[in-house]
Chains A and B, each alone.
Chain A
Amino acid sequence: MSALPPYAGPLERIWYYAFRVICGLILFFLIMPILVIIPLSFNAEPYFTFTPGMLALDSDAFSLRWYRDIIENEQWLHSMKNSFIIGICATILATALGTLAALGLTRAHMPARNLFMGILISPMIVPLIITAAGMYFFYSDVGLAQTLPGIILAHTALGTPFVVITVTATLAGFDTNLIRASSSLGATPTYTFFHVTMPLIMPGMVSGALFAFITSFDEVVVVLFLAGFEERTIPRQMWAGIREQISPTILAVATLLIGVSILLLVTLEVLRRRGERLRGLSPG
């Protein structure tokens, strides 16, 4: 694909370029919806489409009023606070529990490994609506519905599979002789973990944690069932916005969220390159 072979016939040449055009269109389909929303969030008018002024690049047609709207709106600010509290708490819990479990799962003597792996991964597999319905009854019974701790626990459960999978994958290439060396030099298992194992599996832990965070940060089905008005998160607020009174403020929030995803994407990419460099796979 990288270059057209010299023996290619005319038909092949046409196909070669046609194929690139097709791929270009598909990639355009992937990225265009995300890009289109960004300029629209600066619309001075309360419309969801480009005004003639915007197309003429008239500076009066653009404004920051929808961003101002977010800052001045008590509900949006409150939901942002909730989203970050829930996301960060759930991420910490999920990373701690998930890493611990991954350490156990990769040990040579782990009994019934596949069964446990299947169970621990299940929150990722079960359709969210079923998870949400189940949690709704149970969390109401134990008094955790409509509380932040309840949502944090629910999101922790949803986030752990990602941590388990990424850390298990990182540990697969881990040299256990390092642990033996550390122990033979007199380190306690805890000391060994924090000073030998953890620095090496850090990339896996961080990418797992990022997945757990984005899972919580983006999750709305469980929140719809478990959260009251006070516990609304950003996605819950967007859901309400789309269903009830759709205003361009949502586009401004969406643009901010795209910023968050770009940030996450860059962080992961840096981690991936660092991991590859450490394993000597790429020159850097």
Chain B
Amino acid sequence: MATAQSALPSGAASGGPSGGPTDGVLRTNDGVPLKTTLRRVNRRQKIIAFGLVLPLFLFILITFLAPIGMMLFRAVDNPVLQEQIPRTVALLNETWDGEGLPDDAVYDTLAEEMIQQYKVREIAKVGTRLNYEQGGLRSLITSTARTIARRAEPPWKEAFIKIDERWGEPETWGIIQNAAPRYTLSFVLAALDLRYDWQGDIVSQPENEQIYVKMFVRTIWISGLVTVLCLALGFPVGYLLANLPMRQSNLLMILVLLPFWTSLLVRTTTWIVLLQTEGVLNDIMVWVGLISDDGRVQMIYNQLGTIIAMTHILLPFMVLPIFSVMKTISPSHMRAARSLGATPPRAFWDVYVPQTLPGIGAGSILVFILSVGYYITPALVGGRTGQLISNFIAYHMQKSLNWGLAAALGGLLLLGVLVLYWLYNRLVGIDKMKFG
């Protein structure tokens, strides 16, 4: 007791609140206004709380957010022409108004810069960049550069047109001009199946090159279908688990949780084993006599395979939130509805289902968010028709190396996911998310 008292601030001795100036301001023992002290203590508490969060915040910022931000920046970043043929671009912008052909000086500068870049073997970058705008320009640039660096002679304008008549068309120059700015929207446009025409207007891609909008639609369609299937399968299971006695429901819960905890690749592998033409399911159907040995059904490496495998993998994410909401619904509500004369379907539909909506909402958004970004399963079992937008991002990252387009596609996907996430947060609250 004595130690506790001596631990009090020394101000206690000087008389407490009554001892200070009598201006009506509440003061602590050492005479500082209570408000100031409170503010100081609060600030200290804030700093401590923030200090605890800071290490992880910085870690996420550096290892996660910054890399993604920098990657997405590539969707508008457009340095190639500015770095490789800067003077041509500048001169073109100054002297050419889009009518007819540029001045001789532009041809001369381009020739000079092309030879220079050809010697350091950088000219292919210009070709690749322009090829994103219009097919065939890569070979035009590289072959022109090779010819003028080796044997062609000035005057360059005539030489260029002699090498390829496309140099005598304003379209080519228009495309170069549109591809030149340091920052561009052309990757984002490409991700939406749009492009700049040579006059700088936004137009649709040619019919046979329109793939990405179709891809987004397919991704949304498959994700939606998987969500609906998960809901259709998850709702009854959730209902059963929530209404069985504890002991039985715990036991059946294992059947939901074990797949949830099993590796994604294991579950994908097992669907390959089950569904492939020489697989278990086809064998059973042949054995039963449902199909002939030659008539084995192709159930995998197509959209069907993707949908089946994804539904299986994501089903626990639907069951768990629905289950936890149903757990809180009192069975007496249904009984009350029945006693008031409702038929069982009516009581179920009008009394029970509305109360499960939070669970349905949470589960559906969660499943939809997860499936929109799915990559592994479609890549392994999707074949050609079961690929989703993520697979195209991976393709442009690893194979075509069109990183600007990959970033633009990724940015659009991320935007969609963030909107859904915001919705989820409004409906459920992120801190209410539970696992297991």
Quick check: B57 and A169 within 8 Å, CB to CB? no
B267 CB-CB contact with A under 8 Å: yes
**A49-B283, A130-B410 are contacts. A242–B380 as well, Cβ < 8 Å?**
yes
Quick check: A137 and B45 within 8 Å, CB to CB? no
Q: Interface digits, B398-436 against A, CB 8 Å rule (1 contact, 0 not)?
A: 100001001100100110011001000100001101111
Name B233's contact: one of A29, A138, A218, A243 (CB within 8 Å).
Answer: A29
Name B283's contact: one of A50, A105, A120, A127 (CB within 8 Å).
Answer: A50
A84 CB-CB contact with B under 8 Å: no
In the complex, A207→B242 CA distance in Å? Answer: 23
Quick check: B46 and A120 within 8 Å, CB to CB? no
> Which residues of B are found within 8 Å of A87, using beta-carbon distances?
none
Q: Interface digits, A112-149 against B, CB 8 Å rule (1 contact, 0 not)?
A: 00001111111101111111011111110000000000
**A49-B280, A110-B50 are contacts. A30–B274 as well, Cβ < 8 Å?**
no
In the complex, A125→B42 CA distance in Å? Answer: 33
B2 CB-CB contact with A under 8 Å: no
Interface residues of A in 127-179 (CB under 8 A from B): 127-131, 133-139, 153-154, 156-157, 160, 162, 164-166, 168-169
> Which residues of A are found within 8 Å of B291, using beta-carbon distances?
none
- Stretch of B15-23, B102-110, B111-119, B369-377 lying at the A interface: B369-377
> Which residues of B are found within 8 Å of A238, using beta-carbon distances?
265-266, 269
Quick check: A22 and B60 within 8 Å, CB to CB? no
Quick check: A127 and B375 within 8 Å, CB to CB? yes
Q: How far is the CB of B29 from chain A (nearest CB, A)?
A: 18
Quick check: B266 and A254 within 8 Å, CB to CB? yes
> Which residues of B are found within 8 Å of A47, using beta-carbon distances?
278
Tally chain B residues at the interface, Cβ within 8 Å: 93
Which residue of chain A lies nearest to B280 when distances are taken between CB atoms in the complex? A49
In the complex, A217→B410 CA distance in Å? Answer: 25
Quick check: A254 and B430 within 8 Å, CB to CB? no
A76 CB-CB contact with B under 8 Å: no
In the complex, A98→B60 CA distance in Å? Answer: 11
Q: How far is the CB of A185 from chain B (nearest CB, A)?
A: 11
> Which residues of A are found within 8 Å of B433, using beta-carbon distances?
165
A187 CB-CB contact with B under 8 Å: no
Q: How far is the CB of A135 from chain B (nearest CB, A)?
A: 5
> Which residues of A are found within 8 Å of B76, using beta-carbon distances?
none
Quick check: B49 and A107 within 8 Å, CB to CB? yes
Chain A, interface size category, equals 35 or more
A2 CB-CB contact with B under 8 Å: yes
> Which residues of B are found within 8 Å of A110, using beta-carbon distances?
46, 49-50, 53
Quick check: B267 and A20 within 8 Å, CB to CB? no
Name B406's contact: one of A22, A29, A133, A156 (CB within 8 Å).
Answer: A133
Quick check: B269 and A207 within 8 Å, CB to CB? no
A209 CB-CB contact with B under 8 Å: no
If over half of B's interface residues share one DSSP class (helix, strand or loop), that class is named, otherwise mixed; here it is helix
Interface residues of B in 94-144 (CB under 8 A from A): none
Quick check: A33 and B271 within 8 Å, CB to CB? yes
Quick check: A29 and B312 within 8 Å, CB to CB? yes
Quick check: B261 and A214 within 8 Å, CB to CB? yes
20 additional contacts (CB under 8 A) given A15-B344, A268-B436? A1-B239, A19-B240, A34-B267, A34-B270, A49-B273, A101-B53, A105-B53, A123-B64, A125-B417, A127-B373, A127-B374, A133-B410, A138-B66, A139-B67, A165-B431, A165-B435, A235-B264, A239-B380, A261-B258, A265-B258
Q: Can you name 20 A-B residue pairings with CB atoms under 8 Å?
A: A2-B243, A30-B312, A36-B280, A48-B279, A100-B56, A104-B54, A107-B52, A109-B49, A116-B57, A123-B64, A129-B390, A130-B414, A131-B68, A134-B70, A156-B63, A211-B435, A214-B261, A254-B265, A262-B258, A272-B436
Interface residues of B (CB under 8 A from A): 42, 45-46, 48-57, 59-61, 63-72, 74, 233, 236-237, 239-240, 243-245, 252, 254-259, 261-274, 276, 278-280, 283, 312, 315-316, 344, 369, 372-376, 380, 390, 393-394, 397-398, 403, 406-407, 410, 413-414, 417-418, 421, 425, 430-431, 433-436
Interface residues of A (CB under 8 A from B): 1-2, 12, 15, 19-20, 22-23, 26-27, 29-31, 33-34, 36-37, 40, 47-50, 97-98, 100-101, 103-105, 107-111, 116-123, 125-131, 133-139, 153-154, 156-157, 160, 162, 164-166, 168-169, 207, 211, 214, 217-218, 220-221, 225, 235, 238-239, 242-243, 246, 250-251, 254, 257-258, 261-262, 264-265, 268, 272
